[in-house]
Structure 1
């Protein structure tokens, strides 16, 4: 499939083999197939092919577009710096669509296109299907947007690594702010949950956090992923009169809910277990409210974070969303691991990542991958609405909290423990 969208403007799309005039003449002879195969093999050896799968349509589509922009910029920078091991990186970027299609495309990328690794994905269900293909084919998969604890637990896979944070990490990160503000012990929560794997898993983690800290759920509703009218759910919230409304929604569900909730003018505060910056931008500064966890934001004040932000703005005309950070980082981590191991072989790279090699993750502290579940261990944050008087433009509407865990604390404080989320690689 020919790539479309932002990456179609670069030289980083899937290419067809271009033969010379002489080659075309030879193609008419008996020896043409062998010659063309040899030419194709030489062309492939000149580049390192990397697959990228992420949803470009549906309720996760807006995030997928940022993912493509992030990985495209990373590959452009890698190639401008000389590539990896003296070879250019060729990006094969496609819409993953759904779990079944994602698996089919991953299989083709590995078997036919001979990619060295696959990056991307946002849907946890599609991430699982890609990981199963990657595992069978012993090919590295670095996922950048799947939050489900199950992917790091009973469905973990030696060939899958996680840039994106788990649901447990998101809940524990925002939970620190809720505990600080007295919104847990003795409080009644009402949950709205996206009715698919990610949402179900996030609801489980959120309920556990509330119960472990003296809170309880006054109500809980599953919301279809294609729902656009939240009024029936908001009326149930009004009847329940909770102390806190907890969002376990995803993608543009969050934007639609916040907008409609604001129209009803209910007094109950909102917090979220999962969040993407695009949802706040979609809601707008006049509507956005609540306390939310955040894995990265373009106002993070590390030198590398600001360099990435400026490069992204120059390339795409707007600041990077947190999903853009994840896919950008995945490409940079892969390139660094290949350079440090002098190899493009999945097993060699995996061994290097499992050694807890350090990476600049565009935050205050370096990150590393935990060797028993392959989770990237790094800081997270919380965000709240920024006072309008302090906003510089339409993107500058979020106030970034201090890093969680705090300075001097172990980075694994907010991560699932082995008891919470056992992973056994086969």
Structure 2
């Protein structure tokens, strides 16, 4: 045996800690802890009507991995991100299975479509791999369809609804008001319409119509004419992705003055519509106008790297990677059961907001602040991305983070099923 061969053998023996290397007869194996990299799967739509959001999410995840690796990685190992496009639920199922079984990722983060997220959740449960949902809103994912292998960083529909709803209620805007809904015709939209209608009606609002709208609808004129005929007090949007942009632009063109509100707001489609097409008060999971130290640093780093500020989806996927890294460090393990155990104990996370957040142990929803935002007057906007001013955090600083969450009665989850 040469000196080089002996040195190589000693290195393998030292790294292996006495187990056998697969496929190498006579050599001890490298355990999971000694594999060179920790593989993380990033699965999100990069094409289709949600693709513009997915690209921002991908950039956020990549930036997080670079930062984590620059400070030494996790448990002495670097992270490796494997990204796939989940353009629809069928593709999401196949890609999730590939990432876990072939690419050997230990965790999947990402997704925006609630239908696709549900499909990924089933694969994660079946294959006992962790999934961190960073963009899908449906309450059902945390309710009837919940499972112990999935954690939800993105806010659920009830959180979005209650964030703006509590503010609207205090302003006296709900009771007796007539609301006209436009709803995305798939799992996310159906769920959002259900929880939004429930909240409005419980507080004295009247939903006069709920039109189901196919995704990628190019012409909203038939819906806008129906809105004009109905003469509501508010038009309530349960749309997503480019459909938000298309509607907002056409609504502006028709010159309707009925106030706009919504069950959800994504920053990128609002940026694409332009400030001239925007009005009213909305809700946001995160906004780059936050002034705390962590948010300012994140916004600057992202802007320097990608030429514009991060949106709420970039924040979500960035936080997904940071949360995974922190949990692995705390657990001193990459094993799914160890990570679940440490997170369920109430581990706190810096969310680049005013307050730390943590996951509920019974449905794995991240408890966190959201924000009521107001569309800025055009002459006060510093640039094309500066479209909102933050009105308030919800829950407030002295309120429980449970305030905007679905209750067990509203959103029962059982990990036993």
Is TM-score (shorter-chain normalized) higher than 0.5? yes
- In structure 1, the partner of 2:54 is 64
- In structure 2, the partner of 1:124 is 114
Post-superposition CA distance 1:188-242 (Å, at most 9, x none): 1000000000000000011101110001111110000021100000000000000
Post-superposition CA distance 1:159-191 (Å, at most 9, x none): 000000000010000112221332210111000
Q: Distance in 1 between matches of 2:276 and 2:208?
A: 28
Helix, strand or coil at the partner of 1:142: strand
Q: Distance in 2 between matches of 1:41 and 1:119?
A: 26
1:301 Cα offset (Å) = 1.5
- Runs of 4 or more above 2 Å deviation: 33-36, 38-44
- In structure 2, the partner of 1:7 is none
Does structure 2 conserve the Cα–Cα contact (< 8 Å) formed by 1:183 and 1:244?
no
- In structure 1, the partner of 2:17 is none
- In structure 2, the partner of 1:353 is 343
- In structure 1, the partner of 2:177 is 187
- In structure 2, the partner of 1:337 is 327
- In structure 2, the partner of 1:154 is 144
Q: Distance in 2 between matches of 1:391 and 1:99?
A: 38
- In structure 1, the partner of 2:386 is 396
Alignment map for 1:31-70 (pairs within 5 Å) = 34=23, 45-70=35-60
1:289 Cα offset (Å) = 1.6
Helix, strand or coil at the partner of 2:393: coil
How many residues align? The count is 393
Q: Distance in 1 between matches of 2:235 and 2:113?
A: 24
Does structure 1 conserve the Cα–Cα contact (< 8 Å) formed by 2:184 and 2:240?
yes
Deviates more, 1:342-351 or 1:100-109: 100-109
Q: Distance in 2 between matches of 1:285 and 1:141?
A: 36
Does structure 2 conserve the Cα–Cα contact (< 8 Å) formed by 1:380 and 1:404?
yes
Match of 1:305 among 292, 295, 302: 295
1:34 Cα offset (Å) = 4.2
TM-score of the pair, normalised by structure 2: 0.92
2:371 aligned with 1:381: yes
Match of 1:177 among 167, 172, 177: 167
Q: Distance in 2 between matches of 1:303 and 1:221?
A: 42
Q: Distance in 1 between matches of 2:390 and 2:166?
A: 14
Match of 1:294 among 273, 284, 287: 284
Deviates more, 1:175-184 or 1:323-332: 175-184
Match of 1:202 among 168, 173, 192: 192
TM-score of the pair, normalised by structure 1: 0.90
Post-superposition CA distance 1:110-167 (Å, at most 9, x none): 1111111000000001100001000011111001001000000000010000000000
- In structure 1, the partner of 2:12 is none
Helix, strand or coil at the partner of 1:57: coil
Q: Distance in 2 between matches of 1:153 and 1:166?
A: 10
Does structure 2 conserve the Cα–Cα contact (< 8 Å) formed by 1:59 and 1:226?
yes
Helix, strand or coil at the partner of 1:296: coil
Q: Which runs of 5+ in 2 are unaligned?
A: 1-21
Q: Distance in 1 between matches of 2:29 and 2:280?
A: 54
Helix, strand or coil at the partner of 1:381: strand
1:347 Cα offset (Å) = 0.6
Does structure 1 conserve the Cα–Cα contact (< 8 Å) formed by 2:161 and 2:263?
yes
Q: Which runs of 5+ in 1 are unaligned?
A: 1-32
Q: Distance in 1 between matches of 2:352 and 2:148?
A: 25
- In structure 2, the partner of 1:98 is 88
Q: Distance in 2 between matches of 1:255 and 1:99?
A: 23
Deviates more, 1:95-104 or 1:52-61: 95-104
- In structure 1, the partner of 2:156 is 166
- In structure 1, the partner of 2:67 is 77
Helix, strand or coil at the partner of 2:80: strand
Q: Distance in 2 between matches of 1:40 and 1:234?
A: 65
